[in-house]
Amino acid sequence: MLKPVEAAYRFRIYPTPEQENLLNRTFGCVRVVYNRARALREAAWTERKERCGFTQTNAMLTALKKQPEFVWLNEVSSVPLQQALRHLDVAYRNFFQRRARYPKFRRKDGPQSAEFTKSGFTYRDGRLKLAKMAEPLDVVWSRDLPSEPTTVTVTREADGRWYVSCRVVATVETLSGGGDVGIDLGLKDFATLSTGEEIANPCHLAKRQKRLARLQRRLSKKEIGSQNRAKAKLKVARAHASVRHARSDFLHQLSTRLIRENQTVCVETLSVNGMLRAKLHSRSIADAGWSEFSRMLAYKAVWYGRKVVKIDRFYPSTKNCSECGATGHVLTLDDRRWRCPDCGSFHDRDLNAARNILAAGTGGVCLRSGC
Just list the catalytic residues.
Answer: 184, 268, 350
Cα–Cα distance measured from residue 43 to residue 35, given in angstroms and rounded to the nearest whole number: 12
Distance from the Cα of residue 209 to its chain's centroid:
22
Q: Looking at the chain, which runs of residues are DSSP E strands?
A: 2-13, 112-117, 121-124, 127-130, 151-156, 162-173, 179-185, 189-193, 198-200, 262-268, 307-311, 337-339, 346-348
First to last CA, the chain: 35
Write the DSSP assignment of 198-251 as a string of letters. Answer: EEE---HHHHHHHHHHHHHHHHHTSPTTSHHHHHHHHHHHHHHHHHHHHHHHHH
24: left (phi over 0), alpha (psi -120 to 50) or beta: alpha
